Chain A
């Protein structure tokens, strides 16, 4: 008998303590909202400063910034469990798969409630950024910090190779020619000591090569992995393995250090030209101070398009089931705003504060005088021009992009390692992604028939 009493008491104690923990409340009368974000380091500190500025700017809402690793997947699981963060920092491609599953709160309603039309709201952004945030006619997220990419070249190595250090390659053919001139081999062993350019360095945008060669990955609702242009781009990728020798490249690249280290290929002068993003300057200052480099757009495409670039952005969204969607919107709105008259560092707010601290370009068309003139990135004007380019490309807006991207990377790898021809690899990719796409659309239709209005579960303001 005594034993049972003891057991009952222990379980009561456990239950009570759980209740107490669950009921702890904040003592002030502000609305506390949670914000999960992937950034740490310099970029995390910049976001934290922006959050602090928002918290100081008003006295109703307190945003709690939480750096979370794999924030997108944790947001997903938390949303499925019905207890998501109020604001989630996601990647662009998350928008499409999450929206397909009604996991995000549409932002149009908030925009309209604040007296804007959606077009006017999005019109403040450079088109490439505005476009990536809307999907199937709805705005699901807004940019936090954007990125755009360009060709970075090492001026010292250009000089050594007898090239004009102020004149980067203008076309693909020039890129290949310069690359050859910038390549050095050990005269005895023939081993590579330096290379002008390598498609796999850093190899983060394998899907960009087809677009750069005037190809396309989607045509409306159709998967178009296998096209002559796409094939040409992978022929070009393969030409590097053939020209410089696969084994030589393998042993040369195995000595490359991590991207964010002084041993990285570009910082250590092993690769003379790389396609990289606006953030590279941060890393150069940290790991290769004094590196003499220049930036330009991607060399012109085969058809002569001069201002091609790849743009991407981190985005802020309100997951379905957020407890405070209105307050979450207030914060997102703050991050999307600027002080157009800012003359001093202290005047910067919202988007410009964040992009100033992260040393990136602002996705908004209008830049304040201070942001424009005192931006810490020495080449920011170039990145601004690239972001404004009508040929700035971003990922296709489909819910299975993550899989498509993996398949394109697999094409890239197979071709680069001389395991398959571009044509065969793209055939495989086409068949596989097409199959997956059909399945995905079938599933969406089936889910819609099963639960006609999943968005009803989405929090509406």
Chain B
């Protein structure tokens, strides 16, 4: 390195220092510390005591760990496919050239800018079994068949699907990404398909979907990460112990209660690392699955 290069290197360091310090103090250090604490008995109020793999072996014998994992995976298995279908469909509709497209796009995106806490409070009312908007609409229809709409958040069988439905309201972000992806699909591919006599459905299946595959891949990965960490909706709408009957006890909720109500920070750190590993594994699987099906249009 010449003197000049060295100088500009240190200048660079000096200017990025605030970020470097921030990253190491507020992100790197806590991450490393939590790995260490996950092998300790640690209540945050006293010095950690090294206990080896005890937290991990206990976790595998903890029913609530398995229950919360199961709840979370069911939630993810419902919300990712539904979310993908709904946001992709919306994007396709909003991609049509009709009058007022920008207005419709804005309207469909709007729910995503509502803070999760606020929309949770709103949906609490929508799901209300007696006075809720949803049952107000559903009951007259179901009444024709002599059935009644469930009470959603107070019914152990319907609380999770209710939270999935609420999630669909906020698909705006992935919808916008799909929309951008749709506009990148080369027009000539559609023209070629049309000349070959492809119906709109076959055009979608053989042109749009393959060309969108990288975008779908991205959204699915983000969906996996997001849905496995679901916390706010359940914490606000049902409660920290995941009522009714622990049907909405998600992984992040159990982790939070363990850490901040029971003061078992070491145990909670172990849970956080296991969740991290699960997310990594699922991401790898998703990547493998998409690898063969991904088209970059090159």
Do A and B actually bind? yes
Interface residues of A (CB under 8 A from B): 1, 3-4, 7-8, 11, 73, 76-77, 79-80, 97-98, 101-103, 250-251, 253-255, 320, 400, 402-403, 406, 409-410, 413-414, 417, 419, 432, 439, 443, 446-447, 450-451, 454
Cα separation A419 to B157 with both chains bound (whole Å):
12
7 contacts between A and B (CB under 8 A): A1-B7, A3-B14, A73-B260, A79-B45, A250-B129, A413-B246, A419-B156
Name B's A-contacting residues (CB within 8 A).
7, 10-11, 14-15, 17-18, 41, 43-47, 49, 51, 58, 63, 128-131, 148, 151, 154-156, 241, 243-246, 257, 260-263
Measured between beta carbons, the chain A residues less than 8 angstroms from B128 are 254-255
Query: Which 9 A-B pairs have CB atoms at the shortest separation, nearest pair first?
Result: A254-B129, A255-B130, A7-B14, A101-B45, A254-B151, A80-B44, A450-B49, A103-B45, A402-B261
Q: For the complex, what is the distance from the CA of A68 to the CA of B289, rounded to whole Å?
A: 49
Are A102's CB and B245's CB within 8 A? no
* B44 x A446 contact (CB < 8 A): no
Q: Determine how close the nearest CB of chain B comes to the CB of A251; give it in whole angstroms.
A: 6
Asked if B47 contacts A450 (CB within 8 A), the reply is yes
The answer to whether A80 and B129 have CB atoms under 8 Å apart is no
Separation of A443 and B54 alpha carbons in the complex (Å)? 11
Chain B contacts of A97 at CB under 8 A?
263
- The residue on A at minimum CB distance from B243 is A413
Tell me whether B46 and A251 are in contact (CB under 8 A). Answer: no
Q: Contacting A446 at CB < 8 Å: which of B41, B45, B131, B155?
A: B41
Chain A residue at minimum C-beta to C-beta distance from B153: A254
A182 to B241, CA, bound (A): 33
Q: A403 near B148 (CB under 8 angstroms)? A: no
Closest B residue to A410 using CB positions: B246
Residues of chain A within 8 A of B63, CB atoms compared: 432
Known contacts A4-B10, A254-B128, A419-B156, A76 near B49 by CB under 8 Å: no
- A97 CB to closest chain B CB (Å) equals 6
A197 to B257, CA, bound (A): 31
Query: In the assembled complex, which residues on chain B have CB atoms less than 8 Å from the CB atom of A79?
Result: 45
Task: Please determine whether A76 and B262 come into contact, CB atoms closer than 8 angstroms.
Answer: no
A76 B263 Cβ-Cβ under 8 A: yes
Residue in contact with B151 in the complex, picked from A7, A250, A447, CB distance below 8 Å:
A250
- Asked whether, in the complex, the Cβ of A410 is within 8 Å of the Cβ of B241, the reply is yes
A251 to B7, CA, bound (A): 73
Nearest B residue to A101, CB-CB: B45
CB distance from B217 to the nearest CB of A (A): 39
Measured CB to CB, the closest approach of chain B to A214, in angstroms, equals 27
Report the minimum CB–CB distance from B269 to chain A (whole Å).
Answer: 14
Q: Is A253 a contact partner of B154 (Cβ separation < 8 A)?
A: yes
* A251-B129 contact given A7-B14, A409-B241, A410-B245, CB 8 Å threshold: yes
Q: A406 and B14: CB pair below 8 A?
A: no
Bound-state Cα–Cα, A262 to B243, Å: 24
A4: which B residues are within 8 A, CB to CB? Answer: 7, 10-11, 14
Closest-by-CB residue of B relative to A258 is: B124
Residues in A whose Cβ lies below 8 Å from that of B261: 402-403
The CA of A402 and the CA of B263, in the complex, are separated in Å by 10
User: Do B154 and A413 touch (CB < 8 A)?
Assistant: no
Chain A contacts for B49, CB-based, 8 A: 443, 446-447, 450
Cα A403 to Cα B62 in complex, Å, equals 14
Closest residue of chain A to B258 (Cβ to Cβ) is: A403
Query: Is the CB–CB distance between A3 and B262 below 8 Å?
Result: no
In the complex, given contacts A103-B45, A255-B130, A403-B261, what are 6 additional A-B residue pairs having Cβ atoms less than 8 angstroms apart? Answer: A7-B11, A250-B154, A251-B130, A251-B151, A419-B245, A447-B49
With A97-B263, A402-B261 as contacts: A7 and B44 at CB distance below 8 Å: no
Q: Which of A102, A255, A406 contacts B241 (CB 8 A)?
A: A406
CB of A23 to closest CB in B, whole Å: 22
Q: Enumerate chain A residues within 8 angstroms of B155, measured Cβ to Cβ.
A: 250
A446 CA to B260 CA, complexed, in Å: 21
